[in-house]
């Protein structure tokens, strides 16, 4: 089943190139996503029963355990939602002549290439290949960021590819030092294999490992959107087509965070505690949350605002990993899942809003409830959810993370985090609530939803995040516990 997961998106890319009929393209995209979801379901089930899956082909190239399966599930589910949403979204774009059928094909090819690279990064055992795959995600999505070819879109794409390529190059330097620290311990067939590195963690060279960690954090942190390396993120998220913003925020950021978690596991196992890694991660995390809190107030563009909110949540996850207790890691991983679903829902809703109003400026939009009754309600509830209001799931995981911080008796970080979250919530309310009311609605467009499949998807996501806020399924709890055990070690 693991190979199905990797071959389906590749096969889809080939089919998009070969088959040129417009309707077929939609069918292939959705069918590929459904197949991937089913394959990932089987993988999850196998991991739940057996702990991990490893195929012997190519020297054990493919390996999936609880930690990777969580992120894989996020990737395939968000991809499925995005594929369904894209059908209606792209049809509307074509109807308004913003897109030709040929451009739509490029969109689908790149989108599925992006999903493939993401899944590759999550299913390999070798950290070097993981790096290659994460760099490939940048390459696959660069044209998607600049898809509309306007001045601003080109600028965002250029910044994205330059900043992320250089950032990720620095991560490569870190990976070289990682290999260097293991030269005396591992033989050449085991180089950069994280299972072998975890097994021999205590024998690795400490000082080189520290150097490696810092470079890797800067590199993968650039792609994960941690401040101060976040500068590409608001531009790319606001300029990309909304379904692509969804994939970037819900999928790409988590993939890079996954890379960081893997390295943290090795480094902490080697040092026997989380002093060194923890301080850096908590500092970077707090800085990310502060950056988001400062910039959210001055936003004039609702997609940019959501992008800053993604930086905030990545910061929270970084803090949770930094504390490195079972509770905080549980909270961090849960937060990763909850943030992805909530933020995807919001970004997909902005797709509907953008198509209706044709503007990203907050001041030019009013009367959202009248114009888009369903999207408006979902967007409003989503904003409450992302701000951390009960009963939604983000609240649940934030509470777990914060209580883990207080359990460690770190009242300074905990108090600061609560204060910042309150500030960010106020910021979102003050800036975005103008959208919903008001009678000053555009005359030329009649009210009503444009993208019916898209509306179904966002309502479904709203259902998921509400249920997840009240109740975590037992299987998911077991899976996260397994993942925490993998990171901390038995």
Partner 1 sequence: MTNYLDALSVLLLVSAFILMGNKRIGSYIKTFQFQSALVALLTGIIGISSFAQDGRIDVLIICAVVIGIKVLFIPYLLKKTYAKVAYRVEKDFFLNIPILVLICCLMVVFSYFSFAETMGINTGTINNQIVNSFSVILIGLLFMISRKKAIGQIVGFLVIENGIFVTALFATHGMPFIVDMGILMDILVAVIIMGIMVFRIDEKFGSINVDNIKDLRG
What residues line the site for partner 1 (CB under 8 A)? 126, 128-129, 131-132, 135-136, 138-139, 142-143, 146, 149-152, 154-159, 161-162, 165-166, 169, 172-173, 176-177, 179-181, 183, 188, 191-192, 205-208, 211, 234-235, 238-239, 295, 298-299
H or E element, residue 63: strand 63-65
Q: Which is nearer to partner 1, 323 or 347 (CB)?
A: 347
Q: Which is nearer to partner 1, 129 or 377 (CB)?
A: 129
Contact 115, 13 (CB under 8 A): no
Query: DSSP assignment of 394-442, as one string?
Result: HHHHHHHHHHHHHHTT-HHHHHHHHHHHHHHHHHHHHHHGGGT--S---
Residue 446 Cβ, how far from partner 1 at the closest point, in Å? 33
Residue 173 Cβ, how far from partner 1 at the closest point, in Å? 5
Q: Which is nearer to partner 1, 48 or 132 (CB)?
A: 132
Residue 193 Cβ, how far from partner 1 at the closest point, in Å? 9
Q: Which is nearer to partner 1, 208 or 466 (CB)?
A: 208
Residue 189 Cβ, how far from partner 1 at the closest point, in Å? 8
Q: Which is nearer to partner 1, 178 or 257 (CB)?
A: 178
Residue 350 Cβ, how far from partner 1 at the closest point, in Å? 17
Tokens of 299: 């936003």
Burial 48-76 (b: 16+ CB within 10 A, else e): eeeebbeeeeeebebbbbbbbbbbbbbbb
Q: What's the half-sphere exposure (Cβ side, CA atoms, 13 Å) at 28? A: 24
* Distance in angstroms (rounded) separating the CA atoms of residues 129 and 140: 16
Contact 127, 175 (CB under 8 A): yes
* Distance in angstroms (rounded) separating the CA atoms of residues 186 and 205: 12
Contact 153, 239 (CB under 8 A): yes
* Distance in angstroms (rounded) separating the CA atoms of residues 190 and 59: 9
Q: Which is nearer to partner 1, 155 or 361 (CB)?
A: 155
Residue 324 Cβ, how far from partner 1 at the closest point, in Å? 24
């Amino acid at each position: 089943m693991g190979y199905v997961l990797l071959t389906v998106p590749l096969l889809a890319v080939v089919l998009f190139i070969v088959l040129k009929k417009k309707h077929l393209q939609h069918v292939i995209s959705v069918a590929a996503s459904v197949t991937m979801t089913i394959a990932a379901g089987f993988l999850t089930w196998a991991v739940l029963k057996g702990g991990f899956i490893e195929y012997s082909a190519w020297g054990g190239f493919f390996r999936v355990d609880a930690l990777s399966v969580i992120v894989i599930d996020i990737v395939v589910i968000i991809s499925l939602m995005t594929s369904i949403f894209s059908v209606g979204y792209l049809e509307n774009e074509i109807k308004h002549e913003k897109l030709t059928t040929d451009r739509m094909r490029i969109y689908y090819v790149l989108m599925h290439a992006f999903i493939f690279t993401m899944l590759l990064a999550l299913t390999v055992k070798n950290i070097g290949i993981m790096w290659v795959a994460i760099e490939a995600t940048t390459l696959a999505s660069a044209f998607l960021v600049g898809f509309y070819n306007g001045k601003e879109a080109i600028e965002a794409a250029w910044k994205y590819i330059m900043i992320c390529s250089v950032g990720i190059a620095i991560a490569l330097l870190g990976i070289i030092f990682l290999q260097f620290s293991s030269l005396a311990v591992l033989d050449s067939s085991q180089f950069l294999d994280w299972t072998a590195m975890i097994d021999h963690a205590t024998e690795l060279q400490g000082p080189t490992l520290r150097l490696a960690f810092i470079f890797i954090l800067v590199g993968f942190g650039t792609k994960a959107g941690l401040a101060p390396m976040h500068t590409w993120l608001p531009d790319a998220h606001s300029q990309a087509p909304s379904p692509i913003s969804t994939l970037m925020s819900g999928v790409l950021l988590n993939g890079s965070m996954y890379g960081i978690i893997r390295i943290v596991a090795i480094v902490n196992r080697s040092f026997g505690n989380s002093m060194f890694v923890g301080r850096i991660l908590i500092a970077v995390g707090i800085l990310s949350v502060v950056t988001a809190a400062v910039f959210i107030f001055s936003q004039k563009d609702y997609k940019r605002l959501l992008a800053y909110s993604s930086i905030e949540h990545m910061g929270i996850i970084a803090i949770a990993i930094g504390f490195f207790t079972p509770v905080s890691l549980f909270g961090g991983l849960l937060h990763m899942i909850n943030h992805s679903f909530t933020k995807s829902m919001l970004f997909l809703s902005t797709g509907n809003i953008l198509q209706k109003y044709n503007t990203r400026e907050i001041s030019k939009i009013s009367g959202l409830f009248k114009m888009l009754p369903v999207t408006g309600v979902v967007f409003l509830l989503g904003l409450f959810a992302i701000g951390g209001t009960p009963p939604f799931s983000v609240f649940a995981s934030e509470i777990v993370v914060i209580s883990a911080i207080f359990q460690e008796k770190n009242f300074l970080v905990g108090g600061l985090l609560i204060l910042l979250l309150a500030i960010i919530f106020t910021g979102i309310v003050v800036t975005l609530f103008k959208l919903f009311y008001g009678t000053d609605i555009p005359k030329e467009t009649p009210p009503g939803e444009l993208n019916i499949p898209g509306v179904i998807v966002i309502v479904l996501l709203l259902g998921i995040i509400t249920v997840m806020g009240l109740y975590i399924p037992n299987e998911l709890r077991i899976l996260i516990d397994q993942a925490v055990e993998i990171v901390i070690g038995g």
